[in-house]
Structure 1
Amino acid sequence: MLLLKKKYFLHIAFICVVFTACTRNNVDKNLQEYLLSIDSISQQKPKEGLRKIDSLLEKKQNSKNRALLLFSKGELFYLNDKLIEAKNIHLETYRLFTKLKDDYNKGRSLITLSATCMKLNELEDAQKYALEALETGEKIENTRLQAKANNQLFNLHFILKDYEKALLYIKRCEELFTDPNDPNSIIAIKSNIAGVYLKLKQYNKALKQFSEALALGESAKDPKTIVSVLNNIGYTYLEAKRFDESEKFLRGAVKLNQKIKTINGAPYKGLGTLFLVTNKLDSAAVNYNRAMSIYKSKNNLSEEVEIRDKLISIAILKKQYQKALNHQIIRDSIEVVKSKKQNQKLLYFANVNYKVKEKEIALTHQKEINKQNWWLGISVIVSLVLILIIALFIGYNNKLRAANKASKLEQRLLRAQMNPHFIFNTLAAIQNITLEGNPVKSSNYIAKFSKLIRQNFDYVRKEEISLEEELAMISNYIDTQQLRFNNSFSYHIHISENCNTKQVKVPPMLLQPFVENAIEYGLKEKKSGGILNLNIRKTGEELFFEIEDNGVGRKQKKSQEKIAKDLHATDIFIERLQIRNKGEEKSFTIEDLHDKEGNPSGTKVVFKLKL
């Protein structure tokens, strides 16, 4: 469905038959009937219509039926303003119908693609698809498809304010579309022609087209169409400054709406504009309020904002500044909601509308504005903008700082894990084995060492790895260390039965610093009988770690040499836990172990992670 909206009148849509399949193709008649029933349901319950189409798409369909089902789904998305979804689906149906050599339905897909791109303001694509649809319609000599394509090109040039070309295309559309069984489309075409004449200020020609559209509506006995045309005629007379005739037709539209019990705010809005122009402020306010009540019930935010702008102007003219301020506050809150829905910047929207309103009041009523309230409003807007800019700057700065900190921590972690002392000693040990004439053992350790280096580089950039991967890496590291010290110590890893190492996730390279400390500052001094125990148990949603050795103890080692904090990497470990922001660093303890005589007998590190 194609819709063209003007500031002072509404066009009737050039109606497309959405779910009608091409009769020249072999299509399942049951599917045609089903799609028509879905069309009827979707007008009131679009979600139910989509559900029914999806249920059919889940079943096996031939290529033709699948393409038609997707086309119907795309039309539903378009009619309910889900434009991105509509565009993506119709790009697919366009490809499917092209593959099936179904030019008619390919042309229909192109028409909706053009209309969707136009709503998305992708005007170049809209023109491309409309021209291809026109070429396709001419190729298969289908006048209805050609008419729709010309109508799309009319809409495009009307948006671009190229009214002469717009008139050319819509007149071609009128020549092509002569189906007497579809009066609504003919009425829409005539209304569009009238719309161009109105923009060209050729009011008599516009009224002639609207009169013909009105006669067609009366013949078809379609009261809703008649109301729309009456309203358009009223707006045309208003543009021509023939106020008596304008009021007559607008009131006629109101009475017919009441008779058919249709809720339509456009005639009231037209009367409000008429009375505002003729300086009948009370009558203008009454009709604007009636229109606003209808638009509010339909959640038409754009119309409500426009009417509140008029009510603000009327209130300022009547020096009812509190009422003007109340309307302004409500209007601004609506703008915020509107901006979120349309993903537009609040500042741009507020400034544009405020400038329009300021100019309107200045020209009509010699700038009778309460300057104090005006400057207060500007101050609030400027303050909000400044706060927003500052907040965005602070947020961006914090994000950069956090990324920088994470990068530095990653580099420090890698340096701590793969320090040159460890690498050189390991290579020296491998060299000794090679010189001893044991190539198999040497090759085995080279493989372990290269795998350890690769694991370090692979895991350092990951936030989490499985506990199984962490244990595989630490086992590989300990095996490499055992090579250096000629297996002078043994190690044991104990895991509780309720701990699934494949599913549990932990930060990478978490255990290596403490295992390294246990070996370098405890077990290295023992020529034999060294034991390293790694205990892991899961309790509820917490994972407990214990790294225990029976080495010489920290106190004795400290008396022999200074232990650098960075070499231990405990500071990096604490920072990593703090970044997780779970308070896990508070559980970290290092305990010196003693035998019965009080002599140092090793070290135990304990900490826990929250899963």
Structure 2
Amino acid sequence: MMSLIFFALGYFGFSQTEEQVLSKEVEELLLVAPKTYLKINKALKPYRRDTIALNRFIQSALENNYQAGYTYALNQKGTVYRNLSEFKRAIALHQEALVLSEEIENKEFIVLSLNMLGVVYRRMDAIKTALDYHHRALELAEIIENPSVHIKRHINISFNSIGNLYHTLGQYDLAITQFKKALELEGALNNKLGLAINNQNIGEANEQKGQLDIALDYYRKSLALNDEINNKFGQVLCKNSIAQVYLKQDMPSAALVLLQTLKEPATNLGDKFLLSSVLINLGWAELDSGTISEAEKNIVKGRKLASASNMPSLVMYADLHLSDLEEKRENFSKALEYQKEAKKIYKEITNDRNLSYVNDLILKYQSDRKNSQISELAQENELVKSRLRKNQTTILVSTLIIGLIGTILFIMYRQSQSNYEKRVLGLEQHMLRSQMNPHFLFNSLNSIKLYIINNDKKNAVHYLNKFSKLVRRILEGSALKETQLSEELETAELYLNIENIRFSDEIEYSIEVADDINAEQVKIPSLVLQPFLENAIWHGLSSKEANKKIWVIVAKKDSIHLQISIIDNGVGRKVSEEIKENRVLKRNSVGIDITKERLANFAKDYQNDFSIDIIDLFNEEGNSRGTKIILEIPMV
């Protein structure tokens, strides 16, 4: 009871009227002792960023043995120190809160403590540790029956963090998918802070992709939300990001004006991460504006702040700009030193063990989401077997097919396991197989099945041989970064041949290679043509009545680029989109997006870049007569 009197004495340093209101709220809180986050937060929300108030509440909670309130206050105090970039103190407080919440078996506060630890470690660029905490939080939160709004919020925090880890891996499209998922859930909760955070994150991912106008749009959406809830930190963060886009758009004057207004509020907020970023960007703007000495002061100051606060990503960011600064001074040896130091830090942040660990967990999430697909495919297998029991020949062929499927799936599983140790390219190739195989493999086998049912053994064996050869090519090609042009064209022809079974051989296709191209010597990314051929068939030709044609034309654009044109006489993209919207079952594919990333990875080893152009073809009356895709792949 002494602690209740303590609060009545104006323990938080407010006016007498405010003290009386506060003491009444706290007295009721300690007497009722609720165990849920939302009820505790309702009473203490105005004081959760006041460390003096939190310390006094912690003392009263201890005296009254109010463990849930004590855990709440520890986490809030840890958040205050995290925002001040005092990460060690924040970790200690969140760890203490985690131990206590586990002792009292309060799942809400266990999830809260785990996610808060994950956020701190992510700010420190400790990827593996951060992911581990967020994963534990997500696993616990998702099995809670009738989750509270607070638990739903923390599920969103975990999704957001997974998106940030995709971002760290350079998988920006996948990161955006996660952020948009969290954005939708935050919208359902009407959580404007969550909406602001995820809009900011989507902007950052688009900025990394080089889509600066899109990034700017998301930053402005986030800023509007932060203005609406008067979130000072979010306002400075968004404006800093907007200024950074201005710098990348070669508008240093606009960036400089904006950044000069942010230095004081960033300092007042006390968040060293934000202040360091503002200082480095301010130095960048000054460097591009020609004031080199002022630029050096701000960049060095931002770097020292980042280094002292254990924020290696910002140290690396500062080193890159210091390298540019020394290059402008024509001090090339010093510029090179900064470049080497930045490269060293980057390797430390994204080391192989961290990337492997992240890839393993991401693949686990994807595997869980495909469980329903696997169940449906298993049912389809049973149906196939029951129909083929009519005679011994069909039973034998059915057994061979099922054995083949089992072998393929086993090989795919073993290869995917070995690919876990590979870098990002291995992840992309595995995803390419997992997107293509579940639909294509079983649909192809169903087509072959019809030959078996009709007792057309010759065609069944003929197409089964082609199918086996195609599967082998897919599995071999998915483990390679590049292959011979002749091999890729043969794989494409096998694919078209198998798909054509589904269309009763209605599709006419041709593959033409220019005389001046040696298909045995030219190298291209493996399995790069299949996604475009698949789109041409399923979105262009499948909705057309007759006269279905595909042309694949290979030629040299010039001495350094190979040009591959894929032309179909289908219904065109506009009509295809209308048909897709009216379908009950929609086919979603990320094959072309992943192919673009793989082409970008392939082009890194060459002096020249790649390009993909999609051209709508029209006749003289303005009606669609198909689509033309032009791939330009570097040879030098």
TM-score, structure 1 as length reference: 0.40
TM-score, structure 2 as length reference: 0.38
